[in-house]
Amino acid sequence: MKFKDPREVACPECSATSKQRVAKLLALKATCPECSHSLADTGLKMRQALDDWSTYVIAIELTCELERALGCEFEDKGLEKVKTLRDVIAFVGPAREAAAATAMPKAVREVRQEGMFKHAYTGPDRDAELDFNLGLVEMFMPNRWDQR
């Protein structure tokens, strides 16, 4: 997912529209050129959209890894509701939950090393113990919004 840069934004305070750099919006540093009001709400909404998209992509990558590990295929219906590793395990169905839980650490390592977001992983050791309740985007890109 990518936002058009620069992005036209309406100020919530004075309704003036302006073109803003996406990087500045995502860094929550953009302000209205007319009234100097912060455009952080727009940046936060953009961050949420990126996080939602990233979570979905990670869920796809994880289920693909689990399909390889378990030698089966899963339907895509409902995948958009997957937000955590626990959700991924529930998604594969009760008959495969135990096998999926066993295969999950390897699937996570593979996605961290070879997945679409491998360049973004800055978290703890890639082999650290997994928190099955942590959001997927937090697990794979924990420092994504840190200011550089």
Q: What is the pLDDT of residues 6-31, one digit of tens each?
A: 999 999 999 999 999 999 999 999 99
Residue 133 has pLDDT above 80, yes or no: yes
Can you give the pLDDT at residue 99? Answer: 96
pLDDT average, residue stretch 87-97: 94
Q: Domain for residue 54, yes or no?
A: yes
* Residue 129's pLDDT band (cuts 50, 70, 90): confident
In angstroms, the CA 98 to CA 4 distance is 43
Range of the domain at 83: 7-140
Number of structural domains found in the chain: 1
Mean pLDDT of the chain: 92
Q: Domain for residue 2, yes or no?
A: no
Q: Domain for residue 148, yes or no?
A: no
Range with top average pLDDT, 49-53, 115-119, 136-140: 49-53
* Residue 119's pLDDT band (cuts 50, 70, 90): confident
Q: Domain for residue 122, yes or no?
A: yes
Q: Domain for residue 135, yes or no?
A: yes
pTM summary value:
0.89
Q: Domain for residue 42, yes or no?
A: yes
Give the rounded percent of residues in the chain with a pLDDT score beyond 70: 96
* Residue 124's pLDDT band (cuts 50, 70, 90): low
pLDDT average, residue stretch 111-118: 88
Can you give the pLDDT at residue 142? Answer: 87
